Chain A
Amino acid sequence: MTEALEKAYFPEDDIDTYEDYVFSVARKKVLRYLYANHDPQSIEDVLLATKVSINLLAKIYIEISSLKLDFIRFNNDGLQLTDSGKRWVFNNRRSIFLVRKVRRGVKKNIPRGLDMFSKLPEKYTLR
């Protein structure tokens, strides 16, 4: 069943496209979670709530920090969107939350691929 889903919904043999799909969904989930929480959130909480991998979370953090350094903050207390970060999310809510870059089928299948402790689909990890 899973194999059939992957065949139908994941782009064939293209890990970059796969990564783009996964990243766009994960970014949406993480921003939504951080926007909704005012206090700093521990990495563990963010991972458990959004079910993204730690690699993706780091990639999202790098991407947002590169837009403007004070949009997102990470320290001993945890991860937090700053006020200016929240303003940026609000002002760009259409492009962040509403644009559907993924096909419906892919979106449906993403949560399994995004689970914090899950592995990449086997077709990408042939060893």
Chain B
Amino acid sequence: MDNKTRLDRMFTILTRVGWISSERYRNGTLTIMDDCTTIGELDVIEYLLTNLSYCTSSDVVARASEAARFITNHGLSPETTLLVGLAEGDKTCGSTGIVRAIEVSLPSSWNGSVHTSFVSAFRKREGKPNLVLIDDFVGTGDKMSKKINSLRQNPKTKDYNIYVISFAGMVEGVEKIRSLVSDSYIGLSLGKLFTSNMSDPELSDVLAKMKNLEDKLFNDPESEYRLGYKASEAAFYLEAANIPNNTFPILWWEKYNDGSVRESLFPRR
């Protein structure tokens, strides 16, 4: 692919994807442009970027008020309910921002019933029978289902009516937890980007091209991060949040397979 073709294609992509034309994505854009060596690879990147759900603080406000309605529609009140994020100890967690946004959307009577972690909430449970678990993103559903199962196995917490709220989630992960809880609210449901929208032979062709791109990042052909953690194929980013590892590593992987530094489009910690 010559330089003119590469620049023309990249320019077309940038004009179609408004958010990426921002200066803050300049370095990441150059990185992705350099990574693509064929037109086919640029096609795959174009499909990924144009279909990526790029969410801003306005989306958080909108989903938080919907989540607040979900809470009140289920008859949950501060006297009977604990709202809890998934943070552990003093570690930062993506759920915290969403917890705060929901708290702001609820009446002030909820003050004191909203917590960033279950441990702090449990100390102030005061016999409340309902528990709402809040997260920013449900990927494979493993983390959330593990949390719910550990609550179910503990004699002190097994009787909670558990609800789940998440800003966004992968359809498969959400299905996994739906049977474990009373009800759930997922602000944005995402399917697998390629697998849900394409069929063979186009699908295998696109997956092969994406794997070619990922070969530049991984030495391990069986890495669990190929196509996103456990092949989640997520295409999602929330501004100012940590990009989930379920998204394609081409968006956030910070090293090449030779160990050199790669300036990714999105940071991930």
Binding site for B on A (CB under 8 A): 15, 18-19, 22-23, 42-44, 47, 53-59, 61-62, 65, 74, 76, 117, 119-120, 124-125, 127
Contact = CB atoms under 8 A, between A and B. Distances in A.
**Which one of A44, A47, A55, A57 has the greatest number of beta carbons of chain B within 10 Å?**
A55
A114 to B, nearest CB: 10
Contacts of B30: 53-54, 117
Contacts of A44: 3-4, 7
A58 B7 contact: no
Contacts of A56: 21, 23, 26
| Interface residues of A, dominant DSSP | helix
Given A18-B23, A53-B26, A120-B23, 19 more contacts: A15-B23, A19-B24, A44-B3, A54-B14, A54-B30, A54-B33, A55-B21, A56-B23, A57-B11, A61-B15, A74-B11, A74-B12, A74-B15, A76-B8, A117-B30, A120-B24, A125-B27, A125-B263, A127-B267
Interface residues of B, number: 24
| Interface residues of B, dominant DSSP | helix
**Which one of A22, A54, A59, A120 has the greatest number of beta carbons of chain B within 10 Å?**
A54
B7 A22 contact: no
The 3 closest A-B pairs by CB, nearest first: A58-B14, A59-B21, A58-B21
Contacts of A127: 254, 263, 267
B11 A43 contact: yes
Contacts of B254: 127
Interface of B: 3-4, 7-8, 10-12, 14-15, 18, 20-27, 29-30, 33, 254, 263, 267
Given A125-B263, A127-B254, A120 B4 contact: no
Contacts of B29: 54-55
29 contacts: A15-B23, A18-B23, A19-B24, A22-B23, A43-B7, A44-B4, A53-B26, A53-B30, A54-B7, A54-B10, A54-B11, A54-B29, A54-B33, A55-B20, A55-B23, A55-B25, A57-B14, A58-B14, A58-B15, A58-B21, A62-B15, A74-B11, A74-B12, A74-B15, A119-B263, A120-B23, A120-B24, A127-B254, A127-B263
